[in-house]
Chains A and B, each alone.
With several copies, the nearest count.
Chain A
Amino acid sequence: MQPSLEPDQQLLLSTTAKFLDEFAPPAEVRRLRDHDAGFEPDYWRRGAELGWTSLLVSEDAGGGSVSDNGLVDLALIAHEFGTHAAPGPLLPTSIVAGAVSRHDPGHELVGALLCGDAVASWAFTEPVPNDALGTVTVQARVDGGDIVLRGTKRPVESAVQASHILVVAATGSGLTQVLVPTDAVGIERRSMKTVDLTRRFASVTFDDVRVPVTAVIGEVGGAAPAVEEQLQQALAILAAESVGAMQHAFDMTIEWAFNRYSFGRSLASYQALKHRFADMKTWLEASHAIADSAAQAVGAKSPDAAKLASAALAYIGHYGSELLQDCVQLHGGIGVTFEHDLHLMLRRHTLDRTLYGTPAEHRRRVAGIDQKGRNAA
């Protein structure tokens, strides 16, 4: 999160933080562990009232952001989701609301997403052996006035709760995005397990699912730029959320170090631990910095957006795990118990580093961009 915010951003942030403090405390997160959806519809509607779902939607479509960069504003919300390990389909709903509203500002789904009545999901990634980031094998084929989908996507967030899934599919050598109602014939959703307590995922199989071509968002075979933009948005959201999780775990561990005494003095007085906290603080500030840069660049569609977004996931994915696990280590045994809160943040970060490419895949993506630049030069 940036070291200084505009007053409107500050308000958005503090309103969300206060709401989550009250309605998503650790006890509630633990309770939702066995909840089918992982969140209560009313909680989600009230969050939507705070603006959570509107930030990637332009004003003419009923949305709106508080600064000139809606993704930066959304990153503030995502950061708070991270600090609270908060429930709710923030990422997929935001991505779909943005994508559909850019295609058709008057689409009725947009209104339902904005007010929190509906949930939607984005189906981009695929299972092994097609799990490399960007691989798309699900086929979208035009058949008269219909478009027919075949293949499997996973993990698809909140797919069981969603009314619609925006599916990324291949048509020839191009990409097509199709907005499929989840009650369409031929859709099978199998719930998955996850490290997170409140997020929910499914594997979704499309067995020749047939919808009218009007369900295509953008153009048939021409969706690649939109998909890339949505991916970058997803990365910026994941980065911000991950940093929020790191920040809270770090704060908890600092407090523990000051209050926990061993051999008659606080853990915070031991130089070996102090130096590890210094390293962690450095990783944390660096993570904030690259997450902010990524959100800024992606939101502004800068030329370096792809590189910064992947750099954020690569850095935060790796160093975030090191930070969170060192927080566990410094807590000792209590840090790996279910009753302690630390693992809520560890779970959220661990999930986020797997959803849209692992750190290794993002390192590769960055290197690929550099190499392309060099070859072009």
Chain B
Amino acid sequence: MSENALEDVESFRARAKEFIHANLRPSVGPSFGMRDVGSMEVELALVEHDRALQRALYEAGLAGVCVPKEYGGQGLTPAHQRALNDAISGFEYPGRFQAPTFSPCMAVLLDFGTEEQKQAHIPAMLRGEELWMQFLSEPSGGSDVAGALTNAVRDGDEWVMNGSKIWTTGAWWSDWALCLARTNWDVEKHRGLTVFIFPIHQAGIEIRRIEMLNGSKEFCEEFITDLRIPDSDRVGDVDEGWTVGTRWMMHERTLMNSSYVTMPAGRSEGGGRIGDALAIAAAAGKQDDPVVQDLLGELEVLELVSNALQRRLGDGMRAGTMSPQASAIGRLFHGSAGVRSGSILFEIVGAAGGAWEDEDGELAERGVDFLMRQIGSIGGGTTEIARNVISERVLGMPRERAVDKGIAFRDVPRGPSSQHSEA
């Protein structure tokens, strides 16, 4: 494709704006604290709406802005993606497709998938037909994703998989999975992994919805029993899954700056709480309390700084003056600021944080949000791991002593709390 053929950014922006204003509804405000959205029927309807939105964007030539045309994308540049992000700001958008379907899943397929895999799945994603999920974390694993115990054994042209995965958002309404599994126990941890893809809804995969303490059932756990996967659904080489995994993690960490992801500009996960906070303060009758004003100011400062920091990191990584590992700085800030913001909101709520009536409006349910205060420091890689990455990869400090280096994975100590079914 010659560069001349590219649509210029401003005309793209105009085209995007026109479509968006004509077809999309204004967004409802961000909601925090990961509350229960309601019944399964309600949630399924929301998923179907996202599929329809994605389909509409696809038909308008606004899906997969930076995806090559041969896979159904627009073959344009990050600048076009940013123009779309600007244009869609304040409007609804197919949020469930962005992460993890477009990144990291689609990004990993673009990096490592076979031509057949790309042709089979990327256009389907862009048309809103395939929602993907990451089968990555495991119950025994915590932060050590490369320590996967889910096991895949070769059987002719197929693989047989057993194990379990956890913290998969909405596995029950998704279509395909990108899965990291162990294929060799006799080599070092990182050298015995392989990546596979497979449809989620089939015999051999049992899905359990996990109830969080606030009633949300957003996450699932999957039990995989004698699942058969054709070798053609392997991504990357056998036992080279960590090569794929490293890029996969990188795509996950740089999600906020991904050119595959449509994310209304000015929106960031940690942001937007000041409106909530002002409403809470008003409901509590404390908007003029100087201590509350101090807290409100702190909350807003954290949000402004968060936005400035994400912009700085994005600029630095794009310009190459910062390594992709610097995204861990944004992750740590987001986690820490989220914890502090959660405390501030709870402080302002006052007594209604412990017990409330439905009529309390903005004050109701805030205590439950506080119980979930840490969620932003746990989900998507803990802040502890981010601190390791920053100190070791960004600042170059000595790595932690790795007990699991230089020995076969089957011999790595796993402690009394971890049982697993080994090959």
Contact = CB atoms under 8 A, between A and B. Distances in A.
A154 B143 CA distance: 43
Interface in B336-370: 336, 339, 343, 347, 350-358, 360, 363-365, 367-368, 370
Size bracket, chain B contacts: 35 or more
A27 interface: no
B371 A268 contact: no
A193 B387 CA distance: 38
B212 interface: yes
30 contacts: A2-B312, A3-B312, A3-B315, A3-B319, A4-B319, A193-B356, A259-B416, A261-B418, A262-B141, A262-B143, A263-B144, A268-B398, A269-B398, A272-B387, A274-B387, A275-B387, A275-B391, A285-B326, A286-B306, A286-B308, A286-B333, A290-B308, A314-B297, A328-B378, A329-B374, A333-B167, A338-B212, A355-B351, A360-B347, A371-B296
Contacts of A2: 312, 315
B378 A332 contact: yes
Nearest to A359: B347
Given A128-B283, A363-B297, 12 more contacts: A193-B356, A194-B367, A195-B353, A256-B417, A262-B144, A278-B387, A281-B391, A328-B378, A336-B371, A336-B375, A343-B371, A371-B278
B377 interface: yes
B208 to A, nearest CB: 10
Contacts of A311: 300-301, 304-305
B287 interface: yes
Contact of B370 (A274, A337, A350, A355): A350
Contact of A203 (B210, B354, B357, B390): B357
Nearest to A195: B367
A363 B412 CA distance: 50
Contact of B391 (A278, A339, A350): A278
A79 B168 CA distance: 38
Contacts of B413: 261, 264-265
Nearest to B298: A363
B285 interface: yes
B370 to A, nearest CB: 6
Interface in B149-191: 166-167
- Majority secondary structure of chain A interface residues (helix, strand, loop or mixed): helix
Interface string A333-377: 111111100010011001111110010101111111011001000
B25 interface: no
Contacts of A4: 315-316, 319, 321
A293 interface: yes
Given A190-B357, A278-B386, A289 B391 contact: no
Interface string A277-321: 111011001101110110000000000000110110011000001
Interface stretch (B64-72, B252-260, B400-408): B400-408
B315 A370 contact: no
A89 to B, nearest CB: 14
B355 A264 contact: no
Contacts of A265: 398, 403, 413
Contacts of B321: 3-4
A335 B301 contact: no
B212 A367 contact: no
A192 B353 CA distance: 12
Contacts of A271: 388, 400
B38 interface: no
Contacts of A195: 353-355, 367-368, 370-371
